[in-house]
C-alpha cells in the first residue's frame, strides 16, 4: 500500500511539473503570436522577453531602465533627470521573483529599505511595457505610479548622455549675470505619456545655445542651436528660431521660480506657414546631490 501511495505521489508531481512547463511554453508562444515587446528578441526559459527597456516617470521626473537577462540576474535602475542622469537607486532581482501569464508579468521584490515592491508589466500595443509600480509603505498604504517602457536600441539615454555631455552639469558651478544662463534638463511632452522625451538646454553668454532632445527607445538625439543675440523678449517671455535638427525650428521660454517652462514648435518653412507639431517642457537647472 505504501508503495502505491509513493508511486501515485510521483505521478502527481510529474504531472504538475509537466503542466507548469506547458504553461510557460504556452505563454512564450502567446507573447510571440501577439507581437508583444521582445518578440524579435530572446525569451528566457521562464517565459519573459530578454532585453533592456527605458521610460520616463513623469511625476518624479525620473528615467527608469529595466534590464532582463538570460542569466537570472535582473535590475531596475532609476536615474534622476535633474541630477544629470545620476543613478539614485538600483533594485536587483532574479527569476524566482518573476511570474508571467498570457497578458502580463509580475515582479515581486523589495526596496533597499525592505518595503515590498511589485512591478506589473503589461505589453502595450507593440510599443513596450505599460508598468504599474507599487510599493507598500510602513503605514500599509500603497504608493503606486505608472510609466511606459520602450525597448532601447543600443545605448540607454544615460549612457548616451555620459558619453557626450557628462561635464555639462559643472557649468552651473559658475555665477552668471542672468538667471536663465546655465545647463538645464527636464521632461518634454509632445502628446501624452506615450511620447514623453527628455530635453536639455545649454544656455551660456557669448556662445551658441544648444537645445537637445532624447527619446526613450531611440539611439541618438535631436540637437538644435540658437544665438542668444537673436532672442526677442516680450512680457517676460523669450522667443528664438532654432537651427539644426528638423525636430523643431522655434522655441519659447518663460523663466519661473523653479526653472524654465516653455514650448517648441515646428512650422513649415514655405508660405503659407503651417504648424506641423508642438509640445511643452519644464526644465530645472541641473545640480549634483
C-alpha cell at 146: 505608472
User: Is a pLDDT exceeding 90 seen at residue 191?
Assistant: no
CA distances from 253 to 92, 238, 267, 276 (A): 40, 5, 17, 19
Binned at pLDDT 50, 70 and 90, residue 167 comes out as confident
Asked if 54 and 66 touch (Cβ cutoff 8 Å), the reply is yes
Q: Do 168 and 219 have their domain in common?
A: yes
Q: Which residue has the cell 528578441?
A: 41
User: Is 10 within a domain?
Assistant: no
pTM here? 0.82
Residue 112 belongs to some domain of the structure: yes
Write the CATH number for 210: 2.40.128
> How far apart (Å, rounded) are the C-alpha atoms in residues 194 and 139?
33
Q: Are 96 and 202 members of one domain?
A: no
> Which of 107, 125, 151 is at the close of a domain?
151
How does residue 289 score in pLDDT terms, banded at 50, 70 and 90? low
- The verdict on residue 139 lying in a domain is yes
**What is the model's pLDDT at position 192?**
61
The dihedral built from the CA positions of residue 128, 149, 147 and 97, taken in this order, carries a sign that is positive
Q: Which residue has the higher pLDDT, 23 or 88?
A: 88
pLDDT, greater one: 105 or 22:
105
pLDDT-derived band at 17 (thresholds 50, 70, 90) equals very low
Identify the CA nearest to 42 among candidates 70, 17, 79.
Answer: 70
Give the pLDDT band of residue 179 (cuts 50, 70, 90): confident
CB contact at 8 A, 237 and 254:
yes
pLDDT, position 264: 94
Alpha-carbon 101 to chain mean position: 24
178 and 140, same domain (yes or no): no
Q: Give a yes or no: residue 5 inside a domain.
A: no
Backbone phi, then psi, for 11, in 5-degree steps? Answer: -65, -45
Q: Of the given ranges (15-29, 38-52, 118-132), which has the lowest mean pLDDT?
A: 15-29
Same domain, 131 and 178: no
Parent domain of 130: 24-151
Amino acid at each position: 500500500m505504501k508503495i502505491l501511495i509513493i508511486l501515485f505521489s510521483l505521478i502527481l508531481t510529474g504531472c504538475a511539473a509537466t503542466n507548469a512547463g506547458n504553461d510557460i511554453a504556452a505563454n512564450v508562444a502567446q507573447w510571440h503570436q501577439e507581437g508583444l515587446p521582445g518578440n524579435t528578441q530572446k525569451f528566457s526559459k521562464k517565459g519573459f522577453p530578454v532585453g533592456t527597456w527605458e521610460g520616463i516617470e513623469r511625476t518624479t521626473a525620473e528615467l527608469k531602465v529595466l534590464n532582463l537577462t538570460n542569466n537570472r540576474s535582473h535590475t531596475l535602475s532609476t536615474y534622476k533627470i535633474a541630477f544629470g542622469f545620476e543613478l539614485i537607486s538600483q533594485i536587483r532581482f532574479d527569476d524566482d521573483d518573476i511570474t508571467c501569464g498570457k497578458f502580463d508579468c509580475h515582479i515581486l521584490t523589495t526596496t533597499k529599505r525592505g518595503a515590498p515592491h511589485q512591478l506589473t508589466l503589461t505589453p502595450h500595443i507593440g510599443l513596450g511595457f505599460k508598468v504599474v509600480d507599487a510599493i507598500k509603505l510602513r503605514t500599509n498604504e500603497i504608493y503606486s505610479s505608472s510609466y511606459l517602457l520602450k525597448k532601447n536600441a543600443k545605448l540607454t539615454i544615460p549612457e548616451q548622455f555620459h558619453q557626450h555631455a557628462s561635464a555639462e552639469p559643472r557649468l552651473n558651478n559658475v555665477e552668471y549675470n542672468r538667471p536663465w544662463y546655465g545647463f538645464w534638463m527636464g521632461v518634454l511632452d509632445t502628446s501624452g505619456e506615450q511620447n514623453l522625451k527628455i530635453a536639455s538646454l545649454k544656455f551660456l553668454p557669448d556662445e551658441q545655445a544648444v537645445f537637445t532632445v532624447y527619446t526613450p527607445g531611440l539611439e541618438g538625439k535631436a540637437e538644435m542651436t540658437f544665438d542668444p543675440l537673436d532672442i526677442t523678449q516680450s512680457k517676460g517671455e523669450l522667443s528664438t528660431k532654432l537651427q539644426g535638427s528638423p525636430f523643431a525650428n522655434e522655441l519659447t521660454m518663460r523663466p519661473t521660480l523653479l526653472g524654465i517652462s516653455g514650448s517648441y514648435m515646428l512650422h513649415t518653412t514655405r508660405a503659407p506657414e503651417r504648424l506641423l507639431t508642438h509640445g511643452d517642457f519644464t526644465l530645472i537647472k541641473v545640480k549634483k546631490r
